[in-house]
Amino acid sequence: MARGRRSSLQWYRMDLHTHTPGSKDYQQPDVTYLDILQQAERRGLNIIAFTDHNTVRGYREMLDEINRLQWLEQSRRITAEELLRLKEYRRLFDSLLVLPGFEFTAMFGFHILGVFPPHTDVRTLEHLLLHLKVPSEALDHGETNIGATADVLTAYAAIREAGGIVIAAHANSANGVAMRGFPLGGQTRIAYTQDSNLFCLEVTDLDRKDRRATMRFFDGSKPEYPRPMRCIQGSDSHRLVRDNTNPKNLGVGDRATEVQLKELSFEELFQVLSGTDFVRTRP
């Protein structure tokens, strides 16, 4: 990009890893989808993705609620309280980029985020999950453990082919493809973190600057890991706000990433995260 066009770019705040009551392990089942969007706004987010475990149930239920409210409005049967909810949804969707997605559990328990355009048909995403061998009877359960599924590289390719952004979820954790703490598996780690279909590594130590930081390990300086990887962070929130009794249980937007875009759109986000201009994302 020409230097003169940098001035037209803006920083936007995103959390591409949030759960909803659509995940079985969500910690506050009474929270509504509107609550989550309102909390995203309070935390200054511009982009949020619903990424429930092996399901798009949460995103689908939110759309179902909005469609029901719109039908009630059109049929002139809507109550004052329902009309307020519909207006609030419209206001938030005007200011937030709300994206459908999922957190897929691949073979051997590795977690992968797929984030898709806002106009994506939910049934298309459910078909993709079935293709990745999520059992049909588990498609609405939002569970992390679902039996034998597709391998990591197959999942990367399938999500990318479906038009999604491919992110290795909490890559430096026990369920992460960086396989931190594993004494073996070097060739597997190389394959899982250097694959051309993978956009980013989501990490939980992006604030670290020492030599053990995940971002330093994948900066392209190691001969066996020649592809430098963009590292981002997400909240992996399973609740609305941080749990004061266990600060590791984050809320919406508690661990966010800023991304520099020409406009607030999925297409622009896709281009940046699939590109190599790493200065356009920051914790």
Mean pLDDT of the chain: 94
85-106 per-position pLDDT tens digit? 999 999 999 999 999 999 999 9
Per-residue pLDDT at 208: 85
How much is the average pLDDT of 224-240?
A: 97
Per-residue pLDDT, 5: 40
Beta carbons within 8 Å of 100's beta carbon, 6+ residues apart: 49, 50, 56, 59, 115, 116, 118, 120, 122, 125
Q: What is the pLDDT of residue 175?
A: 92
User: Per mean pLDDT, which range of 18-32, 151-165, 197-211, 252-266 is the poorest?
Assistant: 197-211
What is residue 107's predicted lDDT score, i.e. its pLDDT?
A: 94
Contact 170, 176 (CB under 8 A): yes
Residue 4 in this model has a pLDDT that exceeds 50 = no
* pLDDT, tens digit (0-9, with 9 covering 90-100), for 43-69: 999 999 999 999 999 999 999 999 999
**pLDDT tens digits for range 125-135:** 999 999 999 99
pTM over 0.85: yes
Q: How far is CA 247 from the centre of its chain?
A: 21
